[in-house]
Amino acid sequence: MFTIKLSAKIYTALILVFLFAPIVILLVFSFNASKSLSVMQGGSLYWYRELFRDAETLGAVRNTLLLAITAAVVSTVMGTAAAVGIHRLRSRYLRLAYDTVTNIPMINPDIITGISLMLMFVFVGRLFGAATSLNFWTMLIAHITFCLPYVILQVLPKLQQMDSSLPEAAMDLGCTPLKAFLKVEIPEIMPGIVTGLIMAFTLSLDDFVISYFTSGNGFETLPIRIYNMTKKTVTPKMYALSTIIFFTILALLIMSNLIDTTAPGVERPEKKVRTAEQKKRLRIAGGIGVVLAAGMIAVMIIGAPDRPVLNVYNWGEYISDGSEDSFNTIKGFEKWYKENYGSEVEVNYSTFASNEDMYSKIASGAVSYDVIIPSDYMIARMREEGMLLPLDKDNIPNYDECIGESFRGLYYDPEDLYTVPYTYSFVGVIWDAEQVDEEDTGDWDLLWNEKYRGNILQFNNSRDAFATAQYKLGLDVNNTDPAEWRAALEELKAQQPLVKSYVMDEIYNMMESGEAAIASYYAGDYFTMVDSEADTVDLQFYVPERTNYFIDAMCIPSCCQQKELAEAFINYMLEEEPAIANAEYIMYGCPNRLVYENEDYAEEMGEEAMEILYPDLDQFAEKFNEFAYRNLDSQTLDLVNTLWEELKIN
Amino acid sequence: MRKIIELKGITKSFDGDVVLDHIDLDIYDNEFITLLGPSGCGKTTTLRIIAGFEQPDSGTVTFLGEDLLSLPPHKRNVNTVFQRYALFPHLNVYENIAFPLRVKKAPNDEIDTQVHEMLKLVALEGFEKRSVTSLSGGQQQRVAIARALVSRPKVLLLDEPLAALDAKLRKDMQLELHKIQRASGITFIFVTHDQEEALSMSDTVVVMAEGKIQQIGTPVDIYNEPQNAFVADFIGESNILNGVMLEDRKVRFHGHVFECVDAGFGKNEPVDVVVRPEDVDIVPEEKGMLRGVVTGVTFLGVHYEIIVDVQGFKWMIQTTDFVDVDEHIGLYIEPDAIQIMKKSKYSGMFGDYSSFSNEFDELSDAEAEVEEE
């Protein structure tokens, strides 16, 4: 008996640990003084301070709250009305039918709801000839749609539990049907309404999937913003934010439970009868609240400025945004534009997480962006598909001075008609000097070195992993010959016993903490790791002769509404101040001569970084065109996937 | 007496089932009138039509000579006490009673005076601040009555208000209701399926069955002179036999000719004969008008209830004298204990105690209550 009781207790404890350990870890690391995920370097409120300085994230928080509050209120009113309607139906079959129909959206996978809503908005938008059909309103409609059934689900049972003679009694005692509803039915079902409201609010607050499909120009909610940060690591600011959100929702939950236990029918302390004066005051307070909320929404919607709006679509965390005392590029542009062109402009800035996300959003035709910053291979694809507009270089006078020959004539835009390069980087090998002999370094062989068995990390993504083998063997990464791909596979199989694990983002942790000694990754990310490496780790970096290069470049998509403004923006991004700020923020290579020839910049980055990021630039175009990944045809892609699976099954 | 409500030719059906079939009913000022009948007889529907929660298919209802049907419930000068009270759980006792006055936007001091007056009437002084959910059934009942009376309606409708109370409380509340009605001078229309309740409280009893009014009269009339087998059976216990009216004041049943007090029937007209169990005297066998064998004896405290087999027909007799099972006895019936009724569709359906058992009766009563809800 004793052992059974004990193991039951242990089991319960284990479940609690599993449930709450992640949140506790998040909470602890939100107070970390350093950036590292693995090393706790003393407590501080640094990230909370940073969070409240990050205007873009706070904007996303504001958007999220605005959306959640509006969606919750509207869906609660509509849902309550619907529940009352369903409840009053005389036909039992009709009632059952409505009940089932309203439940379907709850069972329906979010992704289907999201896609179908997007489709509908785009379709209806086209019907009315709107250039962009996704905006705050479509997102609001989407959120109301998925919150509604939950409200009905909360309110309907309260109506069914209510003595049906209550409203009759109220009418009998002199109430009009409306008054009977307001004075008697509403107070009776209030606990259901409040729970429905809170549920709708939290559902809307943390919805990602449906928001992702229905969000439009510039209206970015918090979950989408956090997701888009994954090109680089999620900053610990987000731990701070998540901690705040967690406690907010916890508070709401406790509140809603309290409301439920004080519901009618349960013994409760004697209710104080409000005097007429108090009631009047309450009514005034309620009125003020409603006016404020309406005002907030009105300002948000009607108060939209009549000055031109530029829609910029970029990777998450890919612009200097004023956080950590950096330069605010967006504000800088708005100011610069006014000084140089004499009129106001507003930038609507949103982010994406991958080239493919960006592509599908633009291809849907539901949004319109003026400037986008995709990667090389995606530029090639979009150019071929006619999704880019040629740039008018007269509007980008900085181009000639800033972009040297090294960064011209690249394969994705051989005549330099469509793009202005923004950042570049390349893959190199990161090694821990505490564990690896320097003489073993220099080329790809290090990743196949028996000496470091069990200390090597490999990409957990087929293209990057195959490329390491192809570069090592001297093969072309863009070849379509199956025999060559097979040869690369054999090489990877030979490496497999030495590999500690196949990783993507986990690489930061494992390298920073010294858990692994060798990995290949992007140059810019190496600096991030060095910044937060543990005391017992000494990370170094070198670039093998043959390796992958990528460039992200600014382009104007064909959905652009403000081409000249977009070109002005691109021109501004080449100006010295924003360009340096962005290069320092992103820590990738910058193809702008004003940046890499600037002494202050060189000093700020340090000698090592300058050497790594800016090797012999004369050869850049040549190497890029030879070694960079290009789009593979579908047959080859299938082959790569098959071979990759073969490797992973072993 | 002033006629206050008049129902004429009221017909109502739900989904093709006729619930009310041409009801005519007059209700007078300051009267305690009871609609009595088994579940499904249409008594509650009649009440709901007067309250305004249902519209009849045809017929008229007038209130002091004015058409009532065109008014919505909240404009009718009648209030209802619901079966399960329908108190508002989010309001306390005081606010529940004050509710109709607040709806009318009466001044606060007037509300205060009236609510306290009502609390006094229903003996709930000191309960003002209590939550209605913390009250006992009887107390909730009285709050519901106070709430319905506070706006001084002309008529109070009570829909089986005592059904949810236990037997003892029920008796108290019956007296209380009667007192309140006398004190307030308001017309009470009371719906029940409990005949005892109906007889003890009412000025007028309306017996209903199958959507029709079977008999209207004072409790004494209804009990002593039921108009058909249904009423006779429903009100109290009755032995109902087939008889033949030989001539005025002479009726034959069980092959024996009895003297009675009824007249006006046709010669040799078949009739239903009612004899109440307490009106039969037990005499030695040789002195009896009828002879029979005792087949069952039940002790009920005040009296015994015995079943006597007379020529295959089982009589029920209530007596304070003890007789034993299988005893042969004689029955003696006074002329004024015999009530003669015209034959009706209910003839032959009631009044024979062949399959009688107390338990069985209670069971079917309970069922009736469940159905009602």
Query: Looking at the structure, do residues B207 and B270 belong to the same domain, yes or no?
Result: no
Query: Looking at the structure, do residues A440 and A494 belong to the same domain, yes or no?
Result: yes
Residue B4, SS3? strand
Query: Looking at the structure, do residues A84 and A226 belong to the same domain, yes or no?
Result: yes
Which pLDDT score, from 0 to 100, does residue A278 have?
A: 57
Identify whether A268 is part of a domain.
no
Surface of B (55-74) touching A: CB under 8 A: 72-74
DSSP A173: T
pLDDT, tens only, A219-229: 888 888 888 87
Query: Tokens in use for B226?
Result: 């039921």
**Residue whose tokens read 């998925």:** A146
Query: Looking at the structure, do residues A587 and A501 belong to the same domain, yes or no?
Result: no
User: Which H/E stretch holds residue B273?
Assistant: strand B269-275
Query: Looking at the structure, do residues B206 and B280 belong to the same domain, yes or no?
Result: no
CATH of the domain at B343: 2.40.50.140
Which pLDDT score, from 0 to 100, does residue A326 have?
A: 84
Query: Looking at the structure, do residues B163 and B245 belong to the same domain, yes or no?
Result: no
Q: How confident is the model at residue B237 (pLDDT cuts 50, 70, 90)?
A: confident
- The answer to whether the Cβ–Cβ distance between B74 and A175 falls below 8 Å is yes
Q: Last residue of some domain: A255, A276, A301?
A: A301
Which pLDDT score, from 0 to 100, does residue A36 have?
A: 66
**Residue whose tokens read 């005549």:** A415
Q: Last residue of some domain: B193, B224, B255?
A: B224
Mean pLDDT for all residues in chain B: 87
Rounded to whole angstroms, how far apart are CA atoms B213 and B219?
15
Which pLDDT score, from 0 to 100, does residue A283 have?
A: 63
pLDDT, tens only, A113-139: 888 888 888 888 878 777 666 788 888
pLDDT, tens only, B316-371: 999 888 888 888 999 999 888 899 988 888 887 887 777 655 444 444 444 444 44
Which pLDDT score, from 0 to 100, does residue B367 have?
A: 46
Query: Looking at the structure, do residues A639 and A596 belong to the same domain, yes or no?
Result: no
Query: Does residue B51 carry a pLDDT above 70?
Result: yes
Query: Tokens in use for B225?
Result: 């002179």
pLDDT, tens only, B219-236: 999 998 898 889 988 888
CATH of the domain at B168: 3.40.50.300
Query: Tokens in use for B298?
Result: 């039940």
- Which spans in B217-357 are helix H? 219-224, 229-234
Query: Looking at the structure, do residues A232 and A378 belong to the same domain, yes or no?
Result: no
User: Residue B285 burial by CB count (10 A; 0-12/13-18/19+): exposed, middle or buried?
Assistant: middle
Query: Looking at the structure, do residues A535 and A597 belong to the same domain, yes or no?
Result: no
Identify whether A269 is part of a domain.
no
Identify whether B230 is part of a domain.
no
Identify whether B277 is part of a domain.
yes
Mean pLDDT of A201-205: 89
- Give yes or no for A189 touching B (CB within 8 A): no
Q: Last residue of some domain: B224, B247, B278?
A: B224
Query: Looking at the structure, do residues B242 and B337 belong to the same domain, yes or no?
Result: yes
Query: Looking at the structure, do residues A359 and A452 belong to the same domain, yes or no?
Result: no
Rounded to whole angstroms, how far apart are CA atoms A200 and B5?
52
Mean pLDDT for all residues in chain A: 85
Query: Looking at the structure, do residues A313 and A175 belong to the same domain, yes or no?
Result: no
Rounded to whole angstroms, how far apart are CA atoms A251 and B308?
76
pLDDT, tens only, B277-299: 999 999 988 888 888 999 989 88
Identify whether A36 is part of a domain.
no
Q: Scanning every residue of chain A, which has its alpha carbon at the shortest distance from the alpha carbon of B149?
A: A173
Identify whether B19 is part of a domain.
yes
Q: How many domains does chain B have?
A: 2
- The answer to whether the Cβ–Cβ distance between B89 and A165 falls below 8 Å is no
Q: Cβ(A436)–Cβ(A517) under 8 Å?
A: yes
| Percent of chain A predicted with pLDDT > 90 | 37
Which pLDDT score, from 0 to 100, does residue A399 have?
A: 93
- The answer to whether the Cβ–Cβ distance between B103 and A173 falls below 8 Å is yes
Q: Cβ(A571)–Cβ(A395) under 8 Å?
A: yes
Identify whether B229 is part of a domain.
no
Identify whether A287 is part of a domain.
no
Nearest to B94 among A166, A265, A273 (CB): A273
Which pLDDT score, from 0 to 100, does residue B217 have?
A: 93
CA B58 to chain centre: 26
CA atoms within 13 A on the CB side of B183: 13
- Which spans in A162-310 are helix H? 165-172, 177-180, 186-206, 209-214, 222-227, 237-261, 276-301
Distances (CA, A) of B11 to A401, B7, B214, B268, B298: 97, 10, 16, 37, 44
Identify whether A282 is part of a domain.
no
Identify whether B15 is part of a domain.
yes
CATH of the domain at A579: 3.40.190.10
Residue B61, SS3? strand
User: Residue B225 burial by CB count (10 A; 0-12/13-18/19+): exposed, middle or buried?
Assistant: middle
Query: Looking at the structure, do residues B367 and B242 belong to the same domain, yes or no?
Result: yes
Quote the domain boundaries for residue A258. Answer: 51-263+293-301
Quote the domain boundaries for residue B285. Answer: 238-372
Identify whether A586 is part of a domain.
yes
Query: Looking at the structure, do residues B152 and B292 belong to the same domain, yes or no?
Result: no
Query: Does residue B305 carry a pLDDT above 50?
Result: yes
Query: Does residue A575 carry a pLDDT above 90?
Result: yes
Nearest to A265 among B89, B99, B103 (CB): B89
Query: Looking at the structure, do residues A523 and A595 belong to the same domain, yes or no?
Result: no
Nearest to B103 among A165, A174, A187 (CB): A174
Query: Looking at the structure, do residues A114 and A252 belong to the same domain, yes or no?
Result: yes
CATH of the domain at A156: 1.10.3720.10
Q: Last residue of some domain: B190, B224, B258?
A: B224
Identify whether A501 is part of a domain.
yes
Mean pLDDT of A548-576: 92
Query: Does residue B216 carry a pLDDT above 80?
Result: yes
Q: What is the largest CA-CA distance in chain A?
A: 96
Query: Looking at the structure, do residues B62 and B186 belong to the same domain, yes or no?
Result: yes
Query: Looking at the structure, do residues A525 and A560 belong to the same domain, yes or no?
Result: no
Query: Looking at the structure, do residues A239 and A194 belong to the same domain, yes or no?
Result: yes
Identify whether A629 is part of a domain.
no
- Using a CB-CB cut-off of 8 Å, the residues of chain B touching A178 are none
Q: Please give, rounded to a whole number of angstroms, the shortest distance from the CA of A177 to a CA of chain B.
A: 8
10 Å Cβ neighbour count for A284?
Answer: 10
Query: Looking at the structure, do residues B191 and B249 belong to the same domain, yes or no?
Result: no
Which pLDDT score, from 0 to 100, does residue B138 have?
A: 85
Identify whether B233 is part of a domain.
no
**Residue whose tokens read 């990877």:** A492
- The answer to whether the Cβ–Cβ distance between B73 and A171 falls below 8 Å is yes
Identify whether B349 is part of a domain.
yes
| Percent of chain B predicted with pLDDT > 70 | 95
Query: Looking at the structure, do residues B82 and B176 belong to the same domain, yes or no?
Result: yes
pLDDT, tens only, A353-402: 888 888 888 887 778 899 999 999 999 999 999 999 999 999 999 999 99
- Using a CB-CB cut-off of 8 Å, the residues of chain A touching B105 are none
Q: Please give, rounded to a whole number of angstroms, the shortest distance from the CA of B63 to a CA of chain A.
A: 16
Residues found in chain B? 373
Query: Does residue A570 carry a pLDDT above 90?
Result: yes
Q: Cβ(B181)–Cβ(B10) under 8 Å?
A: no
**Whole-model pTM?**
0.67
Q: How many domains does chain A have?
A: 4
Query: Looking at the structure, do residues B154 and B268 belong to the same domain, yes or no?
Result: no
- Give yes or no for A172 touching B (CB within 8 A): yes
Q: Cβ(B134)–Cβ(B143) under 8 Å?
A: no
Mean pLDDT of B120-142: 88
Identify whether B280 is part of a domain.
yes
Query: Looking at the structure, do residues B202 and B343 belong to the same domain, yes or no?
Result: no
Query: Looking at the structure, do residues B87 and B172 belong to the same domain, yes or no?
Result: yes
Mean pLDDT of A574-584: 92
Nearest to B80 among A172, A177, A188 (CB): A172
pLDDT, tens only, A64-97: 888 999 999 999 999 999 999 888 888 888 888 8
